[in-house]
A and B are shown apart, each in its own frame.
Chain A
Amino acid sequence: MKVTFPHMGNQYVATKTLLEEFGLEIAVPPQCSNDTLSIGTQYSPESICLPLKVNIGNFMETIKQGADTIVFSGSCGPCRFGYYSILEKEILKELGHEMEVILFDPPQGDYKTFINSIFKLAQTKNPIKILNALSRAVRILYQVDALDDAALYKRPRQKQMGEVDLYYDEFHKEVRKVRGYRETSQLIEKTRKQILAIEEDPNREVLKVGIVGEIYTILEPFVNLNVDKKLGEMGVEIERSLKISHWLTEHLFLSPLKLTMEGKTRKAAKPYLKTMIGGHARETIGHSIRYAERGFDGVIQIYPLTCMPEIVAQSIMPTVEKDYNIPYLCLIVDEMTGEAGYTTRLEAFIDLLRRRKEKQENAELLLRY
């Protein structure tokens, strides 16, 4: 059994650790690239959303490395993601790859299947061993998110442009070589310290922008055309509304128990969107409002073409923009997205934010005298 899984931002570091702690042989998919996407686009239905296409690309690339089992997570609607596992299985089957899929659907009262999936993956029924490995993986997840936060903080402030990504890219190369919790954890910590030690330019005016939208496109740098790096080097500090560590805790552990960490966000979104409608539409709206309240300079929404929940959010966002007086930009990505046009739009938006901020500051100065 050689296990693989699809990419989604930094999630692979934690999943890799988890599977290694279970003692499994794994195939980590190569970093998403244009090759991945073109393989995926070739075999996926035309009008499906982008994440599935990249997933298929990931699987095809790992099948070449000998993978025969897929670990995947799911949901129960109303977003399309819930049916990904079935469709992916069908596509791979048609291509002649009978893959075993170990699926982690949110247990809608059916804990037996869920627990059996865990047993199957862990290849042991010893709950202590399983919990141990799980807690280690979750710790890695939080650590890697902390590393990300450090990079997001430093990028706009670094004196020598590109220094953060020097360490950051190095980390992604190195982490594929290390094995197990201890080594991975040490590597993350080392990189985080390196990044935090980078010299800052004290004179730089840093703007703050919130990134909202569909979770996969926010997190996967290949799909969002490295929006963190692009904005970071324009002197913008970004905050992502969704993090994989939060998603995991929220969906696998809290929501079956009817608990949530998003109470505040939901409350903020309530006047605009009363109920959940699948995906992260409500979070998109709620987080935008909270960013506005926290004095952010702007909000950028990113989502894959035809994403149903985000379309609803997009039609509500102009009202939020007006009510909270916060500039808003919507970027939609698919396999046809051209990088130049995308960058131009980002640059124009950031220019606008800078001009706006200057104007506001000048107005304040004038008022003072």
Chain B
Amino acid sequence: MTVKIGIPRGLWFYDYYPLWKTFYEELGAEVVLSNPTNKQILDTGVKNTVDEACLPVKIFHGHVFDLKDKVDYIFVPKMMSVYKREYICPKFCGLPEMVNHSIKDLPPLIDTEINFNKSRNSLKKTIYNFGSYVTKNPIKIKRAYEKALKEYEVYKSEIKEGSFPIDGQLNSKEKKQSDITIAVMGHSYNIYDKYGSMGLINKLKENGINIVTPEMMDYKVVNQHASTLEKKMFWSYGRKLLGTAMYLIEEKNIDGMVYLSSFGCGIDSIIVDLIERKARKKGRLPFLLITVDEHTGEAGVNTRLEAFTDMLEWRKRNEGNLSTHG
């Protein structure tokens, strides 16, 4: 009988899922994804998480709940750190524990620790630990990982070329339609979750606006900009966002920036503030912050987005003499 492994469609899913999916499929397991985020998933998530947690964590709990009775294992790795001297976020670090203590009667979790904070020496062992839930054959695991890595590279380059993984589905690339380009900033699990982000990317696209996301950037450029910071940014997501913003502000090849943040995000509370200061001071770049939680009304977000894009159009027409404090 094949092992059924459930991958929740939340948090690191948007960054890594082809890697894990291919890996487990190559090993002969059946991979089950949870449904794309919908009202029911959000509601069960909210019900099963502590009130204080942020929206994406609540949504993640909803996805785990969705998979609960369908699979043998649920894939919730303990993502401590993926780069040297960096962390992800305390909530990611404690995610398996949070899920385990919040939702009852769960199937066993695949909660192997990923920690490259000190060095990457533990990479091989970590991969083996992940694979050992399906097979104990190290050669098979190694081969599966190599194949998965290739798949992951393809996925990453697809995104770089401008096809966004909305709910994990890469959508088609579209040709340049308008002369307005907006950078949609935010954690990948916020901006690519169609329900959670209230279709932010699609809405902008429908208005014929070109979109740039942090995932489309050249990592070398981003890292180079991030390394000019006074103190090393110790959050991987934070480094990516801050580096991207610094690059875009310096290059001035975008017309505005929309930052989608979730209420209570500790990383965003610092990153948004730093980016906003830089955007306003250095680049005089229009900046819009949208904070979402489980109560956010879509109409309000639409109004703000429309006002923002209208302002960008006027600004372009009138040669940018409008206030940036929009």
B87 at the interface (CB under 8 A from A): yes
A332 in contact with B52 given A49-B266, A80-B269, A87-B270 (CB within 8 Å): yes
Q: Is the CB of A316 within 8 A of B98?
A: yes
Q: Is the CB of A76 within 8 A of B234?
A: yes
Fill in one digit per residue for A315-330: 1 if any B CB lies within 8 Å of its CB, else 0: 1101100000000000
| Chain A minimum-CB-distance residue to B276 | A45
Q: Is the CB of B266 within 8 A of A306?
A: yes
Chain A interface residue count, Cβ-Cβ cutoff 8 angstroms: 43
| Chain A minimum-CB-distance residue to B268 | A47
The smallest beta-carbon distance between A73 and chain B, in angstroms, is: 13
Q: A3 vs B277: C-alpha distance in the bound complex, in angstroms?
A: 27
Partner of B265, one of A47, A105, A272: A47
Q: A168 vs B221: C-alpha distance in the bound complex, in angstroms?
A: 56
Q: Is the CB of B85 within 8 A of A48?
A: no
B101 at the interface (CB under 8 A from A): yes
A105 proximity list for chain B (CB < 8 A): 231
Q: A49 vs B78: C-alpha distance in the bound complex, in angstroms?
A: 25
B193 at the interface (CB under 8 A from A): no
Q: Is the CB of A281 within 8 A of B90?
A: yes
In A279-318, the 8 Å CB interface with B consists of 279, 281, 305-309, 311-316, 318
Chain B interface residue count, Cβ-Cβ cutoff 8 angstroms: 42
Q: Is the CB of B94 within 8 A of A82?
A: no
A368 at the interface (CB under 8 A from B): no
B291 at the interface (CB under 8 A from A): yes
A274 in contact with B78 given A87-B270, A309-B94, A311-B91 (CB within 8 Å): yes
Q: A74 vs B230: C-alpha distance in the bound complex, in angstroms?
A: 14
A315 in contact with B101 given A79-B90, A306-B52 (CB within 8 Å): yes
Q: A318 vs B102: C-alpha distance in the bound complex, in angstroms?
A: 9
A23 at the interface (CB under 8 A from B): no
Q: Is the CB of A315 within 8 A of B53?
A: yes
B190 at the interface (CB under 8 A from A): no
Main SS class of interface, B: mixed
Q: Is the CB of A308 within 8 A of B90?
A: yes
A76 in contact with B97 given A47-B269, A315-B102 (CB within 8 Å): no
B93 proximity list for chain A (CB < 8 A): 78, 275-278, 312
Q: Is the CB of A78 within 8 A of B270?
A: no
A344 at the interface (CB under 8 A from B): no
A83 at the interface (CB under 8 A from B): yes
Q: Is the CB of A308 within 8 A of B231?
A: no
Partner of B87, one of A74, A272, A278: A278
Q: Is the CB of B78 within 8 A of A80?
A: no
A86 proximity list for chain B (CB < 8 A): 229-231, 274
Q: A91 vs B173: C-alpha distance in the bound complex, in angstroms?
A: 41
A77 in contact with B101 given A47-B264, A94-B277 (CB within 8 Å): no
In B184-230, the 8 Å CB interface with A consists of 229-230
B86 at the interface (CB under 8 A from A): yes
B89 at the interface (CB under 8 A from A): yes
A47 in contact with B85 given A77-B234, A275-B80, A312-B90 (CB within 8 Å): no
**How many inter-chain contacts with C-beta < 8 Å in the A-B complex?**
123
Partner of B273, one of A48, A278, A311: A48
| Chain A minimum-CB-distance residue to B238 | A83
Q: Is the CB of B269 within 8 A of A78?
A: no
Q: Is the CB of B231 within 8 A of A309?
A: no
A311 in contact with B52 given A78-B90, A78-B234, A80-B270 (CB within 8 Å): yes
A24 at the interface (CB under 8 A from B): no
A77 in contact with B86 given A47-B269, A90-B277, A314-B52 (CB within 8 Å): yes
Q: Is the CB of A85 within 8 A of B231?
A: yes
A108 at the interface (CB under 8 A from B): yes
A318 in contact with B101 given A45-B273, A78-B234, A90-B277 (CB within 8 Å): yes
Q: Is the CB of A279 within 8 A of B90?
A: yes
Fill in one digit per residue for B224-258: 1 if any A CB lies within 8 Å of its CB, else 0: 00000111111100000000000000000000000
Q: Is the CB of B88 within 8 A of A78?
A: yes
Q: Is the CB of A77 within 8 A of B235?
A: yes
B148 proximity list for chain A (CB < 8 A): none
| Chain A minimum-CB-distance residue to B87 | A78
A71 at the interface (CB under 8 A from B): no
| Chain B minimum-CB-distance residue to A318 | B101
A80 proximity list for chain B (CB < 8 A): 266-267, 269-270
Which of B52, B273, B291 gathers most chain A CB within 10 Å? B52
A49 proximity list for chain B (CB < 8 A): 266, 269
In A85-105, the 8 Å CB interface with B consists of 85-87, 90, 94, 105
Which of B94, B263, B270 gathers most chain A CB within 10 Å? B94
A45 in contact with B272 given A78-B235, A314-B50, A315-B49 (CB within 8 Å): yes
| Chain B minimum-CB-distance residue to A303 | B52
Q: A47-B291, A308-B266, A312-B90 are in contact. List 7 more A-B contacts (CB 8 A).
A: A49-B266, A76-B234, A275-B115, A306-B265, A306-B266, A311-B53, A315-B49
Please give me the 10 A-B residue pairs with the lowest Cβ-Cβ distance, nearest first.
A77-B234, A78-B87, A312-B94, A277-B93, A308-B90, A45-B273, A47-B269, A308-B266, A306-B264, A278-B90
Q: Which residues of B contact A (CB under 8 A)?
A: 49-50, 52-53, 78, 80, 85-91, 93-94, 97-98, 101-102, 113, 115, 229-235, 261, 263-270, 272-274, 277, 291
Q: List 26 A-B contacts (CB under 8 A).
A: A45-B269, A47-B264, A47-B269, A47-B291, A48-B269, A77-B234, A77-B235, A78-B234, A80-B266, A82-B231, A83-B234, A85-B231, A87-B274, A94-B277, A272-B97, A275-B93, A277-B94, A306-B269, A309-B90, A311-B50, A311-B53, A311-B90, A312-B93, A315-B50, A315-B98, A316-B97
